[in-house]
Structure 1
Amino acid sequence: MNIASVRRPVIPPTPPRAPDNMSFFGRLAVIRQNMIATWGQRAYEEEIIQGRFFLHKSLILNQPDAIRHVLLSNYENYTRTPAGIRMLRPVLGEGLLLAEGHAWTHQRRTLAPAFTPRATANLVPHMTAVLDETIAKLDARRNEPVDLREIMQRMTLEIAGRTMFSFGMDRHGPTLRNFVMEYGERLGRPYFLDMVLPVSWPTPMDRARARFRTRWTEFVAMLIAERRAAGKKDGAPPSDLFDLMDKARDPETGKGFSDEQLVDEVATMILAGHETTATALFWALYLLALDPDAQEEVASETHGEHLDGIADIDRQKFTRAVIEETMRLYPPAFLIARAARDKDNVAGAGVSKGDIIMIAPWLLHRHEKLWDQPNAFIPKRFMSKEPPDRFAYLPFGAGPRVCVGAPFAQAESVLALARLIGAFRVELADAMPVIPCGVVTTQPDHSPMFRITRR
């Protein structure tokens, strides 16, 4: 994809690339701190890289046709790796992200109507109400340093709470944030035994994760009970995601979710929704602070209007391009790892049962054969008449297991960025580079301080 740029584009900082001859144990030592820093220059230039992962072969795929084969044509042959299951099951249980086979098919069919563009349009008023409150709070902090990463996390958590349950997260938000931080800082990181032992063999960290899961599911069940109680009172909440999910039925079997299944689905939607959207919005604000011209273009696109509907969101073409370019440079899910169930052939490479297939959006989105100026921030590449190959750009995955909440996340991100930049001019308060780290999601190595001023 060739992009003509009138001015020199911003190139945000990244971690140093690893030596291509880094040893296996050297990579293993870096993985827990920053998976992104384990890849060398070859990974950004070659289409397929073969290696070893203990007793099995590993393949890194940067070829769209090969990725299409794994994620679409023969997706049933590829399942999550033992390490991935270990790290996600305690917080997501058997929800949509981890379910396999018939269980996944049932969940996907049942949930799909709750995440259509029409259903998302009905939830936009919840988003705009939270945005109005966030802008009012930021207005009171003009001209002083603010931590926009924390503010985005609180804002998207509040949106998740209101769109899911129709109530604010004032009482429960701190507890939920503590769960997220506790898990991400220790239990959600890969350990050596996580990667070498079968899932059926518990590790010491698995026991700690099991204790966490008990507390976590009790908390989510309490939120569900509170929402159900509110629905039985006069002035019951309007239709929200929980209402849609609670009443949802598989169109083929007529079955809905059990209470245990509903806990896992709600946990999946709250965690996957608020954390990844907060991360994307933080990086978008950081990039616009580095690129004042792009920031002014986002601000001018709103024309000073109060955006409050899907039609308003759809008109924000450049703002949407900024979000898409942000997720290219900083994909919230930086790695998709799969284990082969059986033999296969991927782009001429033989695959045996148990081999590890890695599709890394971080690499794919910066690959030198797929993108012009791959490390530069150029939003207008997504306004080109030549869109990127569907399997070269994977912010929400691809194939049958593409993220069901993508329309919701895109609407929320575009609306939030347009409203925030339409209200405030954003600048970095210091010049310290912000380095992306691949730990659960693509996180900053520190939370920089910003200055905001009213437009």
Structure 2
Amino acid sequence: MIPPKPTPRPNKVSLWQYLRLFRKDLLSAQPHRLYRAWMAEFRTPFFRSYMINQPELVDLVLKKRSDDFPKSNRISEGLRPLLGESVFLTNGEAWKRQRRIIDPAFAGGRLKDTFPAMRDASQACAGRLHSCAGAEIEVEEITSHVAADVIFRTLFSVPIEHETAAKVFQKFRAYQRQQPLLNLAAFVPLPRWVPRLHSRDTRRNAHDIRKLIQKLTADRAAAIADGTAPNDLATKIMTTPDPATGKCFETDEMIDQVAIFFLAGHETSASALAWALYLLALYPDWQEKVAEEAQAFQNPSFTAMSRLNVTRDVFREALRLYPPVPMMVRQSQCPERFRDRDVPKGSPIVVSLWHLHRQERLWDNPDEFDPSRWKTENGKTCQRNAYIPFSAGPRVCTGAGFAMVEGPLILSMLLRQFKFETIPGKTPVPVAHLTVRSKDGIWLRLVER
């Protein structure tokens, strides 16, 4: 049994056919040959871009010479309305300054501090699901809700039921469905005066989300000033000075950073969790292994997380098959030579996690769901060389450790109390919105254990 993946397009289509497919779904717009290619060149009348799918090239671009391949400015065209000048979009000294301030908040010791908030959000989610036992549920809605709850509890010490938090969540759900991962301008170099193809609803929702975040950050700045702020991630980030300049984030700067924390910490986790639950429903033997492991996890604690080995491997496998961010775009700062091909200065370099994680020349049975692969020599080798769900190098996601605690914890808490079953005729079709989601949602039947 092979988990669902998009049907690739024919190898040869016209530019306009490709652009229509791209706007419909980024993943199915790509040809099947990319699952075996080490590198591919895309030519249009306007530009050329290069997809790299070879570990050595990925390592060069993301790790060894990352400064020579900054994040493409084109990627910001689609996300700027929401993320502004956040750490996800900036480059150079601005990005380095932001990381110097943000990284300490996610250092090892802070994970232990945030664990109780993660646990409370997980327990609250399980409590809400009891009323749905026996029913068909849309899983992405459930995982989006719990992941948002985790972010609000760890970042601002408020549950999702908090009035402002609830409004942000509702607006963000609408935003992610409207906005593709990559705006067309990421691939077509449009002049500045050409509209960026954002719908009116997308612009309005982004504006509304930022206004709500502004209220949260302004309130927190006031609490910090009068000494009443809780010791959570927002306080830590807002009070950490840049060691190079001694300056902290201004409130306006913090709005951009909170926006990306919500995108990276909520949207990506929700995607990974939803696919993990679907995979467990599709493979009931693995679901029972996770449930059995969860029964021994009666009093969840940070130190006990190390015992969730099966659950962690399941979550890791879900991230491999359905990486929340399926593609990243870098830009060459100077002329390059990749695999005997000239790569001109300024060319977009696409690192496709979707294809790298399913590279037929690297992975054993790449399209199969097999959490046991991480114990094999092939799995261990590929984990080192061809597995980058959180990116790699200096720009690796600062919340990677956070996500690898949150995901297995939530899965364990849910599988301890519930069983998830597939529904005939409702096979999810993965598409790329802000993250890899299902075209019509992921529907499962919820059964109480």
TM-score calculated relative to the size of structure 1:
0.92
Say if 1:16 and 1:213 are closer, same or farther in 2 by CA, change over 3 A: closer
Among 203, 206, 212, which residue is 1:219 paired with? 212
Say if 1:228 and 1:250 are closer, same or farther in 2 by CA, change over 3 A: closer
TM-superposed deviation, 1:215:
3.5
Q: Aligned partners of 2:360 and 2:33: how far apart in 1?
A: 10
Tell me the residue number matched to 2:294: 302
Q: Aligned partners of 1:360 and 1:307: how far apart in 2?
A: 39
Among 102, 106, 109, which residue is 2:97 paired with? 106
Q: Are the counterparts in 2 of residues 366 and 374 from structure 1 also a CA contact under 8 Å?
A: yes
Say if 1:192 and 1:268 are closer, same or farther in 2 by CA, change over 3 A: closer
How is 1:35-184 mapped onto 2 (pairs within 5 angstroms)?
A: 35-170=26-161, 171-184=163-176
Matched pairs, number: 445
Q: Aligned partners of 1:86 and 1:310: how far apart in 2?
A: 39
Q: Are the counterparts in 2 of residues 35 and 437 from structure 1 also a CA contact under 8 Å?
A: yes
TM-superposed deviation, 1:301:
1.5
Is residue 264 of structure 1 aligned with residue 290 of structure 2?
no
Say if 1:352 and 1:92 are closer, same or farther in 2 by CA, change over 3 A: same
Is residue 398 of structure 1 aligned with residue 392 of structure 2?
yes
Q: Aligned partners of 2:177 and 2:337: how far apart in 1?
A: 37
Q: Aligned partners of 2:77 and 2:144: how far apart in 1?
A: 25
Among 399, 402, 412, which residue is 1:408 paired with? 402
Say if 1:169 and 1:346 are closer, same or farther in 2 by CA, change over 3 A: same
Q: Are the counterparts in 2 of residues 367 and 374 from structure 1 also a CA contact under 8 Å?
A: yes
Identity of aligned residues (%): 31
> In structure 2, the residue corresponding to 1:185 is in which secondary structure?
helix
Q: Are the counterparts in 2 of residues 114 and 241 from structure 1 also a CA contact under 8 Å?
A: yes
| One-letter code aligned to 1:78 | F
> In structure 2, the residue corresponding to 1:370 is in which secondary structure?
coil
| One-letter code aligned to 1:273 | G
Say if 1:189 and 1:268 are closer, same or farther in 2 by CA, change over 3 A: closer
| One-letter code aligned to 2:155 | M
Q: Aligned partners of 1:183 and 1:205: how far apart in 2?
A: 14
Q: Aligned partners of 1:26 and 1:141: how far apart in 2?
A: 43
Q: Are the counterparts in 2 of residues 193 and 203 from structure 1 also a CA contact under 8 Å?
A: no
Is residue 203 of structure 1 aligned with residue 195 of structure 2?
yes
Q: Are the counterparts in 1 of residues 360 and 366 from structure 2 also a CA contact under 8 Å?
A: yes
Is residue 31 of structure 1 aligned with residue 25 of structure 2?
no
Tell me the residue number matched to 2:306: 314
TM-superposed deviation, 1:96:
0.9
Tell me the residue number matched to 2:241: 249
Q: Are the counterparts in 2 of residues 321 and 383 from structure 1 also a CA contact under 8 Å?
A: no
Say if 1:207 and 1:300 are closer, same or farther in 2 by CA, change over 3 A: closer
TM-superposed deviation, 1:213:
4.8
Q: Aligned partners of 2:432 and 2:376: how far apart in 1?
A: 29
* 1:180-208: CA deviation from partner (whole Å, max 9, x where unpaired): 23433334465655643457435163695
Bigger mean CA deviation after superposition, 378-387 or 146-155: 378-387
Q: Aligned partners of 1:365 and 1:190: how far apart in 2?
A: 20
TM-superposed deviation, 1:135:
1.0
Q: Are the counterparts in 2 of residues 166 and 237 from structure 1 also a CA contact under 8 Å?
A: no
Q: Aligned partners of 1:316 and 1:207: how far apart in 2?
A: 43
Among 417, 422, 446, which residue is 2:416 paired with? 422
Q: Are the counterparts in 1 of residues 294 and 415 from structure 2 also a CA contact under 8 Å?
A: no
Q: Aligned partners of 2:414 and 2:183: how far apart in 1?
A: 39
Bigger mean CA deviation after superposition, 316-325 or 143-152: 143-152
Tell me the residue number matched to 1:375: 367
> In structure 1, the residue corresponding to 2:397 is in which secondary structure?
coil
Q: Are the counterparts in 2 of residues 14 and 435 from structure 1 also a CA contact under 8 Å?
A: yes
| One-letter code aligned to 1:72 | K
Say if 1:211 and 1:105 are closer, same or farther in 2 by CA, change over 3 A: same
TM-superposed deviation, 1:141:
2.1
What do you get for the CA RMSD once the two structures are aligned?
Answer: 2.2
TM-superposed deviation, 1:231:
5.5
Q: Are the counterparts in 1 of residues 179 and 434 from structure 2 also a CA contact under 8 Å?
A: no
How is 1:219-238 mapped onto 2 (pairs within 5 angstroms)?
A: 219-229=212-222, 236=228, 238=230
Bigger mean CA deviation after superposition, 101-110 or 71-80: 71-80
| One-letter code aligned to 1:46 | A
Q: Are the counterparts in 1 of residues 47 and 189 from structure 2 also a CA contact under 8 Å?
A: no
